[in-house]
A and B are shown apart, each in its own frame.
Chain A
Amino acid sequence: MTLCEVTDVAGSAGDFTVTVKENPRYVDMDKCIACGECATKCPKKVDDEYNASTGKRKAVYVKYAQAVPLKYQIDAEACIWLNKPGRCGACAKICPAGAINFDDTEKTHNINVGAVVLAPGFESFDPTGTEVFGYGEYPNVITAMQLERYLSASGPTEGHLVRPSDGKPVRKVAFLQCVGSRDENLCGNGYCSSVCCMYAIKEAVIAKDHVPGLATSIFYMDMRTHGKEFDEYYTRARKESGVRFVRCRVNGVEPQGDEGDLRLHYVNEKGQQIEEYFDMVVLSVGLQTPKHVLDLAKKADIRLTPHNFAAVSDFAPVSTSQAGIFTCGAFAGPKDIPQSVMEGSAAAAAAADILAPARNELTQEKTFPPERDILGEELRIGVFVCHCGSNIAGYVDVEDVANYADTLPGVAHVERNLFTCSQDTQELMVKVIKENQLNRIVVAACTPRTHEPLFHETIKAAGLNEYLFEMANIRNQNSWVHTGDKKAATQKAKDLTRMAVAKVAWQGPLQNFAVPITRNTLVIGGGLAGLAAAHNLARQGFPVDLVERSSVLGGNAIHLHNTWSGEHIPQRMYGLIKDVRNDDLITIHMETEVVEAEGYVGNFITTLRNKNNEKRSIEHGVTIVATGGTRLMPDEYGYRDHKEVVSAIEFDKLYEIRDKQVSSSNSFVFIQCVGSRDVDRNYCSKVCCTHSVQSAIELKKENPKRRIYILYRDMRTYSQRESLYKKAREMGVIFINYELHGKPKVNKVDGSFEVEVWDHVLHRPLLIPADMIILATAIIPNNGAKKLAQLYKVPLDNFGFFQEAHAKLRPVDFATEGLFVAGMAHYPKPVEESIAQALAASARAATLLSKKQVTLDGIKAQVDPDFCDGCALCVDVCPYHAITLIESKDDQGESHNLVEVNLAHCKGCGLCQGTCPKRGISVAGFTFKQLESQIEAALAV
């Protein structure tokens, strides 16, 4: 449902009535083929909000080229007809599908649901009217969102970076960080938006790629690249791409001359006043909750934080203050893509928790007629050539193409259709296939990427195997890209059709493959993430085996006190452990390790070994790796020699038991990034800045006279944690920045300690007398990670954390199906992020566990035993470990080695096929014979 807004939410968990207002699109979704003729003819141009007003769009438009659904809509405010009926109507006249409907009206839907997930997102801070850094006054001051569009190939300048003022190429650009974030004076947004440092670096690197010789400078307060692999990107940007980073707040931006140049004033790191000139200034604007979302929150009676984000508990990071209403993404605080994606799955898990009893109640299964056996039939290929309105027919002589297709070998029937994808044509196709006893089908139309599934269904409905099908892409890859040359486009359409016919002739029926699912999950690791995942799965009704190596449940979390927002961790952990222990669906294996593993999605067998050396096999459909992390034992700062130098966790213990060492101390020095962001370990441990700030606040609260220093590289109190940083400064905690090349030194002088550090504000070394020195030590992967990675054949990253399938889009999946990762095994993270990822892993697991079997498509590697000689070259290249070598000997003792493909693992990529020297293995649907036929057909004329 698009163009919809929620106007009311009534009821309670398990039984909500949601009122949805559907705004008119004025375009019939069923008819629109997204050809864009309407927008070509529409005379009305308005600012394009997708391009952040850097370009124009028409009153009838799609938001962007990849929009889903790819259907046009009319902007009622801009449309001439809708404002003065009878005046224009150009779109309705030109639309080949008759999709324009000026009489469309607003509709209201009342939807009964058991749970609600609010994922309304954010808006970027709009500096219009604030005159901040000359935005709106000087044309070459733009927002990062606008730069993003300038750099995009689909943007207003097709990726060329030019100055808005005069269209001249940009040579020098400045990024100003924290505009609309960490700034209560400008807009009241005191929080950190979490994502802007990283996006500014990315934009600077991309801009440099686009414009050779471009100089980019990023002016920042703290570089907050705390996500997985972000610090490495930051280092590469600095060292390889040559992005310049300047730690300062720019005082002002002024125009220089009449050409659009800009003059920046700032104080550099040496304390000097600098004036510098730039072609373009980019404001790294922050994230905030839009007004309409605040209204929705009010209607749904959702509690908000002081920063206008949904208030959630760190132990239930996707549950709003209303039972049954969940949230994910930036509505619960600014966050990046991986975290938003995790929370998306987490919200699904939390909703499934309350909806589990109703699972599958509304499921309907589609049925198809029995499949016709075509074995032994002569080729009877049916070709359907699509006009796509005028999208193909306007640039290609489709009649000529159809006549030509009729002459091709094996073709028994040819049709032309105005829209091959329309409902009536589908019915016609079924009829034609049956009447003419066709046994292979070619559709010459748009792209298989969007339409192949539809035609598969159609030919299935006609009793044919769905794979006896091929598309010739004569629209996206022909008529649309050769609009000025009908002769050449027609010839190419014929060639493409000939290629498709040649290929489909060698296509045999393929069977989809069903893998049964063992509806049991193995969770490895009984820390916070493992417990949270097991708990949620059990609440959804799925049995879990939970393996813990040590003798206690709870992992690192049992050593922590408060979450950043002040929730008491021991109390919540006690409750979670109790729930897990009391759940009949969860079997806990204490002091047990994984020693062997085999199998694949739905069918794993893992061998466990307990402390008595007893082995036991567990069958499970899904595996969740939650083996956590541990702390680094540092070699620096005299940690191993002096009791005055302690790690943060040790300090917490001393503080908790009111040890005299703490109570009698007056001067505390916290040193950040001990082992993190270092030469060997170039990643941020993510939790330590907040942890030290919290400890400092506690110490100050107890005794404001205490002198507390935090020596940091960049303060990374991201998102709403920024309020803690602010509070600490207000309480008189002193923050001193240091750089990697100028680490603090701990000296022992006459029995007492002093810390030496270069002060970047005073520009001289400082000697700080210290009674206690607290090291924020790095979080490192657990030592069992490597072995486990080998057992399950999943990858680790450069630092030994588990490597997810895709950093942004699949942050809890492994590339191997049925395996998921959660918590600090993936990367250091705080409590709420560990729980969100654990819930996400649980939701991902449930997508498999809720089915009796998974259906995999038939596009899989197949071995030809006549050609395979068991050389096993393919075994090594297979990225999914799907191929094994089967060694055998015949009666004469001659070996007959052969490879075997595990269809459940195979993804049909065909790396095996590209490697095989003997044509012994190829992918069904893309066999050597089929590709060769295509090549021959392509070159035949």
Chain B
Amino acid sequence: MSYEPKIIAFCCNWCSYAAADLAGTSRMQYPPNIRIIRVMCSGMVHPEMILKSLTGGADGVMVLG
């Protein structure tokens, strides 16, 4: 089986989460490996959340804001 990375993306409700919605409206295609977690600001994402993602098995973490 080929390698399928798991990526956690923390997206700010006001910008990147909205952009991810718009990517859908525009039917832009991207790989299904990303799991988006909505936050109210990228500044809300505590470093421990990033560590938790990585130790929990995520291959990458994105903080988008």
**Contact partner of A481 among B13, B24, B52, B53, CB < 8 A?**
B24
Are A926 and B8 neighbours in the complex by a CB distance under 8 Å?
no
With A935-B49, A935-B56 known to touch, is A911 a contact of B26 (CB < 8 Å)? no
**Contact partner of A477 among B24, B27, B44, B48, CB < 8 A?**
B24
Residues of A within 8 A of B24 (CB): 447, 475-478, 480-481
B23 within 8 Å of A by Cβ?
A: yes
B2 within 8 Å of A by Cβ?
A: no
A449 within 8 Å of B by Cβ?
A: yes
User: A487 — nearest CB in chain B belongs to which residue?
Assistant: B32
**Contact partner of B52 among A448, A482, A492, A935, CB < 8 A?**
A935
Size class of the contact patch on chain A: 35 or more
User: B-facing mask of A896-926, CB < 8 A → 1, else 0?
Assistant: 0000000000001111011110000001001
Q: In the bound complex, how far is the Cα of B48 from the Cα of A488, in angstroms? A: 29
Are A485 and B32 neighbours in the complex by a CB distance under 8 Å?
yes
Are B43 and A911 neighbours in the complex by a CB distance under 8 Å?
yes
Give the shortest distance, in Å, between B12 (CB) and chain A (any CB): 9
Are A914 and B58 neighbours in the complex by a CB distance under 8 Å?
no
A496 within 8 Å of B by Cβ?
A: yes
User: B52 — nearest CB in chain A belongs to which residue?
Assistant: A935
Are A476 and B40 neighbours in the complex by a CB distance under 8 Å?
no
Give the shortest distance, in Å, between B31 (CB) and chain A (any CB): 8
Are A495 and B44 neighbours in the complex by a CB distance under 8 Å?
no
Q: In the bound complex, how far is the Cα of B31 from the Cα of A484, in angstroms? A: 10
Residues of B within 8 A of A935 (CB): 8, 37, 49, 52-53, 56, 58
A207 within 8 Å of B by Cβ?
A: no
Are A913 and B6 neighbours in the complex by a CB distance under 8 Å?
no
Are B36 and A477 neighbours in the complex by a CB distance under 8 Å?
yes
Are A938 and B44 neighbours in the complex by a CB distance under 8 Å?
no
Are B21 and A449 neighbours in the complex by a CB distance under 8 Å?
yes
Are A499 and B44 neighbours in the complex by a CB distance under 8 Å?
no
Are B44 and A481 neighbours in the complex by a CB distance under 8 Å?
no
Q: In the bound complex, how far is the Cα of B29 from the Cα of A916, in angstroms? A: 37
Are B29 and A481 neighbours in the complex by a CB distance under 8 Å?
yes
With A154-B26, A910-B39 known to touch, is A447 a contact of B49 (CB < 8 Å)? no
Q: In the bound complex, how far is the Cα of B26 from the Cα of A480, in angstroms? A: 8
User: A-facing mask of B25-65, CB < 8 A → 1, else 0?
Assistant: 11111101001111111011111110011001110000000
Are A473 and B52 neighbours in the complex by a CB distance under 8 Å?
no
With A480-B25, A910-B44 known to touch, is A495 a contact of B35 (CB < 8 Å)? yes
Give the shortest distance, in Å, between B65 (CB) and chain A (any CB): 10
Residues of B within 8 A of A911 (CB): 41, 43-44
Residues of A within 8 A of B27 (CB): 36, 480-481, 483
With A492-B32, A931-B37, A938-B8 known to touch, is A476 a contact of B20 (CB < 8 Å)? yes
Are B41 and A481 neighbours in the complex by a CB distance under 8 Å?
no
User: B-facing mask of A480-505, CB < 8 A → 1, else 0?
Assistant: 11111100110110011001000000
User: B-facing mask of A592-612, CB < 8 A → 1, else 0?
Assistant: 000000000000000000000
Q: In the bound complex, how far is the Cα of B58 from the Cα of A606, in angstroms? A: 52
User: B29 — nearest CB in chain A belongs to which residue?
Assistant: A481
Q: In the bound complex, how far is the Cα of B22 from the Cα of A154, in angstroms? A: 10
Q: In the bound complex, how far is the Cα of B30 from the Cα of A442, in angstroms? A: 25
Are A932 and B41 neighbours in the complex by a CB distance under 8 Å?
no
User: B45 — nearest CB in chain A belongs to which residue?
Assistant: A914
Q: In the bound complex, how far is the Cα of B32 from the Cα of A938, in angstroms? A: 13
Give the shortest distance, in Å, between B24 (CB) and chain A (any CB): 3
With A481-B24, A496-B35 known to touch, is A926 a contact of B44 (CB < 8 Å)? yes
A698 within 8 Å of B by Cβ?
A: no
A934 within 8 Å of B by Cβ?
A: yes
Q: In the bound complex, how far is the Cα of B37 from the Cα of A491, in angstroms? A: 17
Residues of B within 8 A of A1 (CB): none
User: B-facing mask of A455-479, CB < 8 A → 1, else 0?
Assistant: 0000000000000000001011110
Are A923 and B26 neighbours in the complex by a CB distance under 8 Å?
no
Residues of A within 8 A of B47 (CB): 914
Are A473 and B21 neighbours in the complex by a CB distance under 8 Å?
yes
Q: In the bound complex, how far is the Cα of B17 from the Cα of A84, in angstroms? A: 44
Give the shortest distance, in Å, between A241 (CB) and chain B (any CB): 23
A928 within 8 Å of B by Cβ?
A: yes
Residues of B within 8 A of A496 (CB): 35
Q: In the bound complex, how far is the Cα of B30 from the Cα of A642, in angstroms? A: 71
A798 within 8 Å of B by Cβ?
A: no
A749 within 8 Å of B by Cβ?
A: no
Q: In the bound complex, how far is the Cα of B12 from the Cα of A923, in angstroms? A: 14
With A484-B29, A492-B32, A909-B40 known to touch, is A477 a contact of B21 (CB < 8 Å)? yes
User: B63 — nearest CB in chain A belongs to which residue?
Assistant: A914
A66 within 8 Å of B by Cβ?
A: yes
A373 within 8 Å of B by Cβ?
A: no
Q: Of A154, A473, A484, which is in contact with the most chain B CB atoms at under 10 Å from its CB?
A: A473
Are B20 and A909 neighbours in the complex by a CB distance under 8 Å?
no
Q: In the bound complex, how far is the Cα of B29 from the Cα of A480, in angstroms? A: 8
User: B-facing mask of A422-461, CB < 8 A → 1, else 0?
Assistant: 0000000000000000000000000111100000000000
With A476-B20, A938-B35, A939-B6 known to touch, is A449 a contact of B13 (CB < 8 Å)? yes
Residues of B within 8 A of A38 (CB): none
Q: In the bound complex, how far is the Cα of B52 from the Cα of A908, in angstroms? A: 23
- For the complex with contacts A449-B13, A935-B56, 15 further pairs of A-B residues with Cβ separation under 8 Å are A36-B27, A65-B22, A66-B22, A449-B18, A483-B27, A484-B29, A496-B35, A914-B45, A915-B46, A926-B39, A928-B46, A931-B45, A932-B49, A935-B52, A939-B57
Q: Would you give 22 A-B contacts (Cβ < 8 Å), ordered by A? A: A36-B27, A154-B26, A449-B13, A449-B17, A473-B36, A476-B24, A478-B32, A480-B25, A482-B32, A492-B32, A908-B40, A909-B41, A910-B44, A911-B44, A914-B45, A926-B44, A928-B46, A928-B48, A931-B37, A934-B37, A935-B49, A939-B8
Which 10 A-B residue pairs are closest in the complex by CB-CB distance? A910-B44, A476-B24, A480-B24, A909-B41, A488-B32, A938-B35, A911-B43, A476-B21, A939-B56, A939-B57
Spell out A's residues near B (CB within 8 Å). 36, 65-66, 154, 447-450, 473, 475-478, 480-485, 488-489, 491-492, 495-496, 499, 859, 877, 908-911, 913-916, 923, 926, 928, 931-932, 934-936, 938-939
